[in-house]
Structure 1
Amino acid sequence: MSKYIYGIDFGTTNSALSIYDEEKKEIISTITVPSLLYFHQEYTANEATNYVVGTHAIAAYLSDGMKGRFIKSIKQILSRSSFIETRIHNKRYNASDLVALILKDLKAKADEIIGLDCQKAIIGRPVFFDDDSAQKDTLAQTRLTKAAKIAGFHEVRFQFEPIGAAFAYEKTIQKKEKVLVADLGGGTTDFTFLILDPANAGNKDRRSDMIASGGIYIGGDSFDSAFMWEKGTPYFGKNTQYEATPGKVLTVPISLFANICSWDKMNFFNGLRIQKDLENYYHYSKRDRKFKNLMTLIDNNLGYSIFQSIEKTKIELSDLQSSRFTYEHMEIEIDEQVTRTQYDAVIEKDIKKISVYLDEFMLKNNIKPEDIDSLFLTGGTSLVGGIQDLFKTKFPHIPVNSGDNFTSVAKGLAYSGYLFEEN
């Protein structure tokens, strides 16, 4: 009977699982799903499940008229100590419970392919779940470990995601290279500098090939949040003024709009107190039309559809010089031309932070540009034009390579079976 290892890249935006056959020494299949959960609005106790995962979550959310509970970017809450649990249909879910639902879905699909209950997995993790916080980092991995066990994995190892990407790239090269790997996902940007050599691909211990690793808590979600802040919030009443007492004009708290720019906050931004505050601000603002959009957004769980429009604009601007940011639903109307120059200005601060961090990473680890034989970029955010420009400008004479931006990490993780050989 063949022995299998699952390489699992649990991502902020998408998740992937690669099935590695240890006897054939090859990957036999790779599965991908969007990292999305949807809990139906209507649910009875005798139903087997009240949720759906991935693309089915999107379909169910839309068919239910966007009325249920839609959750995106779950990975972001792993390191948040402020998140304890959420209630859905009178059931409590903590961070591990939510993550486990996606891992279970991936496992079920993979087990069906091999016809076995595989309990052995190598799960990817960012170099840092949260910037400069060992405590939050430990919390995130503890929660992820618990999620894996809930999902049915009893033999688990962890590997840094950029190292997984590097091992996938190693399968494509012909000679030894010193490679700087940049893994740019939805939540983090991770760097690893290491030696890759096809001759060593089967070695059980690759620790001596790892020269340096580091990361920063900025990714595609950061770009989307910045875009929502600059281009989206004006349509939802940012800077709305209200008059609670005669003659005293105040501005609605800016924190309301910060909360709709971040998915890990928007997912749980629907409490009774918030709803009451919104109603009061709306009343005292003399029923400001744009502020009403904010109430509609929150009351009707429209966040995902708004961020879909933002994502569409981001993707189009990776290839085009202009795009339209459009959204029309339940009296919310957005139609604005956005140029590549404008978009670059919106994400400039985050691009700068990545650039500064990379400089610090190289200086700290004594890596000079001339030490790097090649660059390997992976992750969906690596396709953003500003990111491409950053690396081409910083390393003009170093070839930039890329693999499958959505499966490279999972495949490389599946090649990391040596982790089970450690004492």
Structure 2
Amino acid sequence: MSPSFCAIDFGTSNSAIAIPSSAPDAPPSSTRLVELEPGQLTMPTAVFYYAEGPHDADGPPRAFGRAALAAYVEGVEGRLMRSMKSILGSSLIEQSTDVGGGRGVRYFDMLAGYLKRLRRQAQAAGAPDDLHRVVLGRPVFFVDEEPARDAAAQASLEAAAHAVGFSEVHFQYEPIAAAFDYERQTTRERLVLVADIGGGTSDFSVVRVGPERMARLDRRDDILANHGVHIAGTDFDRHIELASILRELGYRSLGPERPGQPAREVPSGIYFDLATWHLINTVYSPQRVAELRGMRSFYGNPQHHARLMTVLEDHLGHELAGRAEDAKIAVSGGGSTEIDLGLVESGLRVSLGESQALEALDSDVERIVQAGRDTVRQAGLRADQVDALYFTGGSTGLRLLAERIAAAFPAAEAVRGDRFASVATGLGLHAARLFGAAR
């Protein structure tokens, strides 16, 4: 029987889980990633609640991961939830929200339901039925510069883990877990700066790694510094959407000129909500739609207002956010792309080039790079003393970001880990050492 533990990388965009290896010749401390969907070791952190169908023991009918995204894209009636990790540390966690069909679900229960799905997938892949010990990854900061909210965020995640059957819950910083994964690849002692840039946070850690240190359970002396900022992939998507798609709906446009008064910019709050995944559904309330319908006179270009109302009345916010994400990916390696907005207005398209994306993301990228510099300084090191720069997390695929971070540490060897699995692999290594994987 496999030891009763697992490790979960619960990410803003994607999640993964590691369990002890079942191979007969595997070393006692080895782990493996679970296939969460056919051929996939990661699963989108997404839940789709169907508007119709009977409740089961876990609540309203729902789909997870890629099936959740497919249901939304296919136009099935219901509600898609993404970026659930962003809710941790906020007052939303104990609130309920409408998921269609007159049903309400607490955000906490959404979170717990997703963790329960991961636990069941681990059991289906060979973990024992009494799987009760877990190491959960966490960002350096769930919430920047607010220790009370940060502690509340971890407490909520721990409570959700207990609610789905884990009786022993431990946490490890995600970038430190990535350092453990990198450590397997080095043959000598090195100082590594881990850059873990995901969907919700950009985290850095300076860790001393080496083959002689791998067996140590207590690695506190090897962790020289960790730091992070709550800026990452979903923020990039929001800025891309605001800079391109939402301009066609009136963002930053001016109202009509009035005698003796300069034209004023139209209210921007609606656009920020439309570009933020967990707030999109708030713009569809009848009261808010009626309020915005009555603001037609605020717009100097009536076409902008008409397009905005189409998005609100047809509930197109998530689709536009998804197209912004796709556009970001399309230009991440350079070049340009065309964003088809025909669902808003026939023939409507908007171009996005790398230079436009650079301009939209420049401030966020600089804050992330500065967080890396600050981490090295907190470790008492100069930039040229960093031996290696280890990239992990989905957003490190953005070329301009990776190049800017690397430029800040020119003496460091740049190494790319598995963007989506390095953290989960490292968490598994830590869990095996922590729980003792002896059979």
TM over 0.5: yes
Q: Specify the alignment match of 2:150 in structure 1.
A: 137
TM-score w.r.t. the length of structure 1 is 0.91
In the alignment, the residues of structure 2 paired with residue 219 and residue 57 of structure 1 have an alpha-carbon distance, to the nearest angstrom, of 23
SS state of the match for residue 268, structure 1? helix
SS state of the match for residue 18, structure 1? strand
The structure 2 residue matched to 1:71, chosen from 58, 81, 87, is 81
1:90 Cα deviation (Å)?
Answer: 4.4
CA contact (8 A) 1:68 1:301 kept: no
> 374-383 or 30-39: which moved more?
30-39
CA contact (8 A) 1:5 1:21 kept: no
Structure 1 residues 9-408: aligned runs within 5 Å: 9-21=9-21, 24-30=28-34, 31-45=41-55, 49-63=60-74, 65=75, 67-81=77-91, 84-88=95-99, 89-114=101-126, 116-117=128-129, 118-239=131-252, 252-282=266-296, 288-331=302-345, 334-408=348-422
In the alignment, the residues of structure 1 paired with residue 311 and residue 54 of structure 2 have an alpha-carbon distance, to the nearest angstrom, of 27
CA contact (8 A) 1:120 1:155 kept: yes
1:329 Cα deviation (Å)?
Answer: 1.6
CA-to-aligned-CA distance 1:129-154 (integer Å, 9 cap, x gap): 11100011012111111221222222
CA contact (8 A) 1:240 1:291 kept: no
In the alignment, the residues of structure 2 paired with residue 170 and residue 298 of structure 1 have an alpha-carbon distance, to the nearest angstrom, of 49
1:202 Cα deviation (Å)?
Answer: 2.2
In the alignment, the residues of structure 2 paired with residue 73 and residue 45 of structure 1 have an alpha-carbon distance, to the nearest angstrom, of 24
CA contact (8 A) 2:64 2:114 kept: yes
1:33 Cα deviation (Å)?
Answer: 0.7
Q: What amino acid is the match of 1:165?
A: A
Greater fraction strand: 1
Q: What amino acid is the match of 1:369?
A: A
In the alignment, the residues of structure 1 paired with residue 29 and residue 292 of structure 2 have an alpha-carbon distance, to the nearest angstrom, of 58
In the alignment, the residues of structure 1 paired with residue 142 and residue 148 of structure 2 have an alpha-carbon distance, to the nearest angstrom, of 10
Distance 1:45 1:19, change over 3 A: closer
CA contact (8 A) 2:384 2:411 kept: no
In the alignment, the residues of structure 2 paired with residue 193 and residue 250 of structure 1 have an alpha-carbon distance, to the nearest angstrom, of 48
1:330 Cα deviation (Å)?
Answer: 4.9
TM-score w.r.t. the length of structure 2 is 0.88
In the alignment, the residues of structure 2 paired with residue 177 and residue 267 of structure 1 have an alpha-carbon distance, to the nearest angstrom, of 47
> How many residues are treated as equivalent by the alignment?
419
Q: What amino acid is the match of 2:117?
A: D
CA contact (8 A) 2:249 2:305 kept: yes
Q: Which runs of 5+ in 2 are unaligned?
A: 35-40
SS state of the match for residue 142, structure 2? coil
1:41 Cα deviation (Å)?
Answer: 2.5
1:199 Cα deviation (Å)?
Answer: 2.4
In the alignment, the residues of structure 2 paired with residue 194 and residue 72 of structure 1 have an alpha-carbon distance, to the nearest angstrom, of 32
Q: Which runs of 5+ in 1 are unaligned?
A: none
Distance 1:240 1:209, change over 3 A: closer
In the alignment, the residues of structure 1 paired with residue 309 and residue 324 of structure 2 have an alpha-carbon distance, to the nearest angstrom, of 19
> 403-412 or 110-119: which moved more?
110-119
1:334 Cα deviation (Å)?
Answer: 4.2
Distance 1:333 1:148, change over 3 A: farther
1:304 Cα deviation (Å)?
Answer: 2.8
SS state of the match for residue 153, structure 2? helix
SS state of the match for residue 415, structure 1? helix
CA-to-aligned-CA distance 1:19-73 (integer Å, 9 cap, x gap): 124973212333311011111122345797421111000121233x254211111
In the alignment, the residues of structure 1 paired with residue 5 and residue 334 of structure 2 have an alpha-carbon distance, to the nearest angstrom, of 41
In the alignment, the residues of structure 1 paired with residue 103 and residue 161 of structure 2 have an alpha-carbon distance, to the nearest angstrom, of 20
In the alignment, the residues of structure 2 paired with residue 138 and residue 390 of structure 1 have an alpha-carbon distance, to the nearest angstrom, of 31
In the alignment, the residues of structure 2 paired with residue 281 and residue 154 of structure 1 have an alpha-carbon distance, to the nearest angstrom, of 53
